[in-house]
Amino acid sequence: MGYSRAQKKDNHKKIVAIAAKRFREQGLDGLSVAAIMKEAGLTHGGFYSHFKSRDDMVAQALAHAFTEDEERLLRAMKRRGGPSLEAFLSIYLSPAHRDTPGQGCTLAAVACEAARKDADIKALFTDRVAGYSERLAPELGVTPDQMVAVLSAAAGALVLSRSVSSEAMSDNILGATRRELLATIRP
């Protein structure tokens, strides 16, 4: 049975959204095409009617995830009175963010794997890091270079906080990084 164009478009969006969430949770190599298609309620055989390759799906899912990340972050900062460095760091370097990787920052979730991927994935990361520094820096009242430093330190702290077995140490990584960044980078 064939699908209408609208249904195919909806299915495509569903696959991309599922892949974006699962890649954040399990990494780029930790999930099969078959598992993503099954979760979407579709057959594995239909995958190639949506994507040229697995790498194509990864790129589309990452682009979707980055857009979601930025929208989610801006909404969260708005709920805290508007964008500021303090709001960004309190949201980003929080136990809630640490404990929900499926809805968390894509950079922190897959950057280590992306470093070993092809030029297209690296170009996507390059574009997003540059975009974040250009778009978020003015919102947070910092320079683009400061934003790159904040993003690098915060993403690294988030990765480390997820990697240790001690919750107290994990909380300390988040809190110490937040305090030091606020003390060092004054908007």
Specify if 77 maps to a domain.
yes
Per-residue pLDDT of the chain (187 residues; tens, 9 = 90+): 556 888 889 999 999 999 999 999 998 887 889 999 999 998 888 888 899 988 899 999 999 999 999 999 999 999 999 999 999 999 999 999 999 998 899 999 998 888 888 888 889 889 989 988 898 999 999 999 999 999 999 999 999 999 999 999 999 999 999 999 999 997 5
Within a domain: residue 67? yes
DSSP symbol at 133: H
- Contacts (Cβ under 8 Å, ≥6 apart) of 126: none
The tokens describing 55, both together, are: 């790498």
Residue 31 falls inside a structural domain: no
Q: Is residue 16 part of a domain?
A: no
pTM value? 0.86
Residue 87 CA to residue 128 CA, distance in Å, equals: 20
Q: Which segments of the chain does DSSP mark as H helices, in order? A: 5-26, 33-39, 54-79, 85-92, 95-98, 106-114, 119-140, 144-163, 167-184
171 within domain boundaries: yes
- Confirm if 142 and 132 have CB atoms less than 8 A apart: no
Question: Three-state SS for 119?
Answer: helix
> Which CATH number do you get for residue 111?
1.10.357.10
pLDDT number for residue 187: 58
**What's the N-to-C CA distance of the chain in angstroms?**
58
Domain presence at residue 13? no
148 lies in which domain range? 53-184
Q: What SS3 class is residue 67?
A: helix
Counted domains in the chain: 1
Task: Look at the alpha carbons of 98, 103, 108, 109 in this order and tell me if their dihedral is positive or negative.
Answer: positive
C-alpha span between 26 and 19 (Å, rounded): 10
Tell me the backbone φ, ψ of residue 40, rounded to 5 degrees. -80, -5
Q: Is residue 27 part of a domain?
A: no
Q: Indicate whether 178 belongs to any domain.
A: yes
Residues 6+ apart with CB under 8 A from 186: none
The distance of Cα 29 from the centroid of its chain, to the nearest Å, equals: 16
